[in-house]
Structure formats: C-alpha cells, structure tokens
C-alpha cells in the first residue's frame, strides 16, 4: 500500500486508530476457545501462550485500523490463545437438536450414549446424532467426550473414516452430528449372518481387511491411534453403482451395491507420542497395552483388526478373559468355521503376534500380496464408477448440445420473424406512400 495505514470497517462504522493509542482491555482479552490436542500445532499453542503477553498486542478484529503499521495488521496466532478450556456447561445453548433436526429412530446405544437417525430440517439430509447417556459437565467422562470431538474434527476427511459435521452441548449432554451409514455396523452384519447361519466370504473378508487397513493407515499417518477397533465401531455404507450402461442410459437392472467400511467411534483416540491411553474392549485388547507398554500403539490397532476379521469369518464370540484370552495373545487364532486359504490365515496370525514389532503396519497391509485380489477388485470398482461418470457426462454433453441447438434455432426463428415484420412494415409504408391522395395541378380554361 502507498501509506503505512489501512482502514477498518466494523458494521457501518469506520474506526481510525492511531499507533500511539492505548488498547481497550476488552478487546485485548483472549477469547475462550478449546485447543485441539490432536492438531499438529497444539504443543506450540500451549507453550507460546505465556510469550504472547510480552509481544505487541493487536486489535481482535477482522481487519486492522487506519494509521496502524502494516506489520501490526498481521494478527499473530499468539493473540488468540485461550485463557482456559471451555467446559460442557459453558457451551450450552438452546435446543439445537429439536430446532434443527427431526428424530426418525434410535439406531444404537453404547457406553457413551445413544445414536439417533435424524433428518436435518434445513437440507433434508439424513445424519447420525450421538447423544451422551448422562450429563457430562464436571464428570470424568467430559474429557473423553471432548477427545472424541477433537478426533472427529481432525480425522473426518477420509473415505474409510466416518465423517464428522459438528458437535454441541445441550443440558450438559454432548451431541455429535456424524455421517449416517445406511448399512449399520459390522457387528449388526455379523449378528445377522449368525442368525442366518452364514459368514463373510473370503473375498468379503479381504475387502473388509483392506478397507479398514486404509482407514488405519490414514489415522496413523496423522500420528494418532484408534485404540478401540472392533466390529461395533466399523460402520457400513451401501451405495448403488451402475456396473454396465446401455446407449439409452437404462441401467436400472445393471447396478450393484458397493460396500464401504468406515471406522467410527473415536472416543479412545490418542497420540502415538505422549499418549493418554483409555483401554478399549478387552476382547480386542493387545496384551502389551494391558501391560502399559505403549511403544508400539499402532500395532495394537492391527491386533484388534485381525480379531475383527476373525469375528466376521464366523468365529465364536471372543473371550473377555481366561485361558482362551491368553491363548489368543500368544498368537493362536480362534477357530474359524470355514475354509480359508492358508496364506490368508497366516496373515491374520502374524497380525496377532505376541511381538508387536512382528505385526505388519497399516501401510504394509494395504500393499500385502494376499490382499492384491481385493485391491484389484477395488480398482475395478473404481473403473466401473469412472465409466459410469463418463457415461453420465456424455449424456449431459448430448443434452447440452441439444439445448444449444434448440436455442440457436429459436434465435434464428425469432430473427426471421423480426425480419419479416420489418419487411412487412416497410412494404406497408411504401404502399401508403404510393396510394396516398395528393394535390394535383388542374388546368381549367374558360372561353
């Protein structure tokens, strides 16, 4: 800028603020906001809070005031350090749940609370709203509830992690608005299979393992671990995908359901470094975690994933303790009532190795040769989707071309009509001019 000042507009008012003017204490006061411990800069936010008070303060506005130096215009992160953590009580508001959502049905319940299928009144879309079972303010569960919100906010950007939309508090209860997965949980599917005396097939098991491994790869890449992988925390989204398309675009009889597995329930998520571990379900808990050895936490997720796949394969319910529990921690797979390839069983076995270092990482699992067929199937599914999109685009291009041609024809007709009207008007004027009565010279001779 030509001068070392900028103009600040607040509503309809303009404020000129000189460099030498004292700052308003109310403006200087730091807003109360929570620090998300799962974001990469959270440590910096904590350590730099004290330093911010010694630095030059700037105005807490959307822009900077006139006559302020350009360098003062750049609000530094230190000016927004929270003075304290906001509690559940402080964030209470009027019933947003009743105002914004229409409850359809209760679709689940667990240790944290209940989950409801709701339609949002504004956009008409279906969401899953999770509500804490009991008031959280001041309880030991409050921090766990906030931890789940923090984790969802950081991790909700992957196709194999349940998407997060928002969270708020009402009557000291925490509510979390998440993506609705229309296929229910993997635990529901396993129970349904058990009632119908069937199991997930080998290709389905490999697909399950591959998709959840991709979700874990993403979570671990964010330097976080889930710590509660189990069938009830894996959710299923079913989408109809056209497998073939005809020239007429009639693909109603040529579609297939694509199943997407998504990791949810992030209440136990913690950092890989300096973790605060809340032990998950003992049936899926790795022994080293029980022994408070947190040196290989991502491998605890791998251990739990193997047992999750074993459950989907039709194994008997896993033990919560006892001899069978210890046998599994010694690397012995539970009995699976179906014939699976030996190489697949060996992969599951190494995933529950007593030595966590011997277990494959999520990155290694995604690339594992045993899962190549599932990966190829996934790639083929993507190709099918791509071809379907190409076909839709082709139809749209045709429709667009037709519309453009129709528009051009309409414009041509309108132009022709205008020309005809202009010609007709010109002819009428000419005819009136020729046939109009005019004064004629008359020669009259009188003798």
CATH label of the domain that carries residue 118: 3.30.200.20
Query: Which one is catalytic: 172, 207, 228, 281?
Result: 228
Helices (H), 70-127: 70-73, 96-100
Q: Is 265 flagged in the annotation as binding?
A: yes
CA atoms of 70 and 345, how far apart (whole Å): 65
Pair 270, 349 in one domain:
yes
Q: Which residues have C-beta within 8 Å of that of residue 407, sequence separation ≥ 6?
A: none
261 annotated to a ligand binding site: no
> What pTM value is reported for the model?
0.65
d(CA 83, CA 244): 59
114 marked among binding-site residues: yes
314 is in an annotated binding site: no
Is 69 assigned to a binding site?
no
**Residue 33 is labelled as binding a ligand:** no
For the chain, give the number of residues: 447
Q: pLDDT tens string for the chain (447 positions)?
A: 544 443 333 333 333 434 444 444 444 454 566 777 777 655 555 555 555 444 444 433 433 444 444 434 444 444 444 555 555 555 555 689 999 999 999 998 877 789 999 999 999 999 999 998 876 666 667 777 888 899 998 987 899 999 999 999 888 888 999 999 999 999 999 999 999 989 999 999 999 999 999 999 999 999 999 999 999 999 999 987 655 444 444 444 555 678 999 999 998 999 998 898 988 899 999 999 999 999 999 999 999 999 999 999 999 999 999 999 999 999 999 999 999 999 999 999 999 999 999 999 999 999 999 998 766 655 555 566 566 667 767 777 787 888 888 888 888 888 888 777 777 776 666 555 555 555 555 555 555
354 and 261 in a common domain: yes
Token reading at 317? 């319910």
On whether both 354 and 214 belong to a single domain, the answer is: yes
Would 333 be classed as within a structural domain? yes
* Other CB atoms within 10 A of residue 50 CB: 10
Is 233 annotated in some ligand binding site? yes
- The answer to whether 346 is annotated as binding is no
39 and 96, same domain (yes or no): no
Q: How far apart are CA 224 and CA 23, in angstroms?
A: 41
Which residue do the tokens 């990966």 mark? 375
Taking the C-alpha atoms of residue 66 and residue 63, their distance in angstroms, rounded to an integer, is: 10
Query: Is 272 within the bounds of a domain?
Result: yes
Q: Is 92 annotated as a binding residue?
A: no
What is the SS3 assignment for 129?
strand
User: Whole domain around residue 322: which residue ranges?
Assistant: 186-375
Q: Are residues 229 and 124 in the same domain?
A: no
Minimal CA–CA distance to 136: which of 164, 171, 166, 167? Answer: 171
Give the pLDDT confidence of 120-130 residue by residue, as tens digits: 999 999 999 99
Cβ atoms of 149 and 174 closer than 8 Å:
yes
Residue 173 bridge partners (DSSP): 170
Alpha helices for 196-269 (secondary structure H):
202-221
Residue (of 304, 335, 343, 302) closest to 202 by Cα position? 343
pLDDT digits (tens, 9 = 90+) for 348-369: 999 999 999 999 999 999 999 9
Asked about 228 being catalytic, the answer comes back as: yes
DSSP string, 215-252: HHHHHHHTTEE-S--SGGGEEEEEEEEES---TT---T
- Say whether both 274 and 332 belong to one domain: yes
**Element (H or E) spanning 388, and its range?**
helix 372-435
| Listed residues 48, 64, 80: the one ending a domain | 64
Q: Count structural domains, the chain.
A: 3
Domain co-membership, 172 together with 126 = yes
CATH code for the domain of 268: 1.10.510.10
Is residue 112 part of an annotated ligand binding site? yes
Q: Which of 375, 408, 428 is the last residue of a domain?
A: 375
């Amino acid at each position: 800028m030509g001068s070392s000042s900028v103009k600040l507009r607040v509503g309809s008012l303009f404020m000129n603020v000189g460099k030498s003017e004292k700052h308003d204490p109310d403006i200087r006061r730091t807003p109360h906001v929570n620090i998300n411990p799962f974001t990469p800069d959270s440590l910096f936010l904590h350590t730099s809070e004290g330093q911010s008070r010694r630095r030059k303060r700037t105005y807490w506005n959307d822009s900077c005031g006139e006559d302020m130096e350009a360098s003062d215009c750049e609000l530094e992160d230190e000016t927004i350090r929270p003075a304290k953590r906001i509690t559940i009580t402080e964030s209470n508001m009027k019933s947003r749940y009743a105002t914004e959502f229409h409850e359809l049905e209760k679709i689940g319940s667990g240790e944290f609370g209940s989950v409801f299928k709701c339609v949002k009144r504004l956009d008409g879309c279906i969401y899953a709203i999770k509500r804490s079972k009991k008031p959280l303010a001041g309880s030991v569960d409050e921090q766990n509830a906030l931890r789940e919100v923090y984790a969802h906010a950081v991790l909700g950007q992957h196709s194999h992690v349940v998407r997060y939309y928002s969270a708020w508090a009402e009557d000291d209860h925490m509510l979390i608005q998440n993506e609705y997965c229309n296929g229910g949980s993997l635990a529901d599917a396993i129970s349904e299979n058990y009632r119908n005396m069937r199991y997930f097939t080998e290709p389905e098991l490999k697909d399950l393992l591959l998709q959840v491994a991709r979700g874990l790869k993403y979570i671990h890449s964010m330097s976080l671990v889930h710590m509660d992988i189990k069938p009830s925390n894996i959710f299923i989204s079913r989408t109809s995908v056209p497998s073939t398309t005809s020239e007429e675009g009639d693909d109603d009889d040529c579609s297939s359901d694509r199943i997407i597995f998504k990791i949810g329930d992030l209440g136990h998520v913690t950092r890989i470094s300096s973790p605060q571990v809340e032990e998950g379900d003992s049936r899926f808990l790795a022994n080293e975690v029980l022994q408070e050895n947190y040196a290989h936490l991502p491998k605890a997720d791998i251990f739990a994933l193997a047992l999750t796949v074993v459950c989907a394969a039709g194994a008997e319910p896993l033990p919560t303790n006892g001899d069978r529990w210890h046998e599994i921690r010694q690397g012995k797979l539970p009995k699976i009532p179906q014939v699976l390839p030996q190489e697949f069983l060996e992969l599951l076995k190494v995933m529950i190795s007593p030595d966590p270092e011997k277990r494959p990482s999520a990155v290694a699992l995604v690339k594992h040769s045993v899962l190549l067929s599932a990966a190829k199937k996934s790639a083929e599914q993507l190709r099918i989707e791509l071809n379907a999109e190409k076909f839709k685009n082709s139809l749209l291009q045709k429709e667009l071309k037709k519309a453009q041609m129709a528009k051009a024809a309409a414009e041509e007709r309108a132009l022709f009509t205008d020309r005809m009207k202009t010609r007709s008007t010109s002819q009428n004027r000419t005819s009136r001019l020729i046939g109009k009565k005019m004064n004629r010279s008359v020669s009259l001779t009188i003798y």
